[in-house]
Amino acid sequence: DATILIPMLSSLTKNEVLPIFPRLVDLPLEKFQMALAHILQGSAHTGPALTPVEVLVAIHDIVPEREGLALKKITDACSACFEQRTVFTQQVLAKALNQMVDQTPLPLLFMRTVIQAIDAFPTLVDFVMEILSKLVSKQVWRMPKLWVGFLKCVSQTRPHSFPVLLKLPPPQLESALNKYANLRGPLATYASQPSLKSSIPRSILAVLGLANESHMQQLHISSLNPSDTGSSEHGATPT
């Protein structure tokens, strides 16, 4: 029983705590919270065994199947951290998420924590958009469980997430808009802004139902402004 380790945790080093960390997460929640307090407190001599950032990363690094842990144990451990907002501040969360987004593979609960973070700290929205953009570059749609969370997050954070949505390939954008139909109209309106529209690929405009409209506008403009070569040809006399 890992309970007997709790009083000793404040005197252990990071390298000693990390191997037993999954066993601590597997404890009843109150005991895990006690363990967490000891880990973060550390000793006057050595300081904390783990920083709050390291705690969050360690929780996410646990692979339930490998450690024989129920997934709920890990989500409960995450929630216990979120309850301590003076310790797990938005800066701590941002730093932890920034570390985790570069991991391969991405932690299973990554998107859940991103959503929790923005619920707890709405001012993290711009930072979260950077995270979502990184996930697009990592082709998050190839990771089914994370993709579900990604879509939930872009839906919750609209209109901030519109630029991120427009970075998706057409099939994935179509999939996102089919799942969250309430995004389609506002996103099309956003993409219709003249300052943006010209820089959006036609394949994306097509998904939004804007491609034909864009094409017709181009035809209209070209008919109003015939090219110089065209006008000179019309005016040329045969020799």
Quick check: is 77 in a domain? yes
pTM of the predicted structure, to 2 decimals = 0.82
pLDDT tens per residue across span 72-82: 999 999 999 99
pLDDT of residue 182 exceeding 70, the answer is yes
User: What is the CA angle 63-67-71, rounded to 5?
Assistant: 55
Quick check: is 76 in a domain? yes
Query: How far, rounded to the nearest angstrom, does the alpha carbon of residue 181 sit from its chain's CA centroid?
Result: 20
Quick check: is 167 in a domain? no
Total number of domains in the chain: 1
Quick check: is 139 in a domain? no
pLDDT tens per residue across span 6-48: 888 888 889 999 999 999 999 999 999 999 999 998 777 778 8
Closest by CA to 75, choosing from 102, 198, 83, is 83
User: For position 213, what pLDDT does the model report?
Assistant: 52
Quick check: is 57 in a domain? yes
**Alpha carbons 234 and 48: distance in angstroms, whole number:** 83
DSSP class of residue 236 equals P
Quick check: is 10 in a domain? yes
Comparing 60-64, 163-167, 187-191, 224-228, the range with the smallest average pLDDT is: 224-228
Quick check: is 122 in a domain? no
Quick check: is 63 in a domain? yes
Structural domain boundaries, residue 22: 1-88
**Alpha carbons 62 and 78: distance in angstroms, whole number:** 12
Average pLDDT, the chain: 87
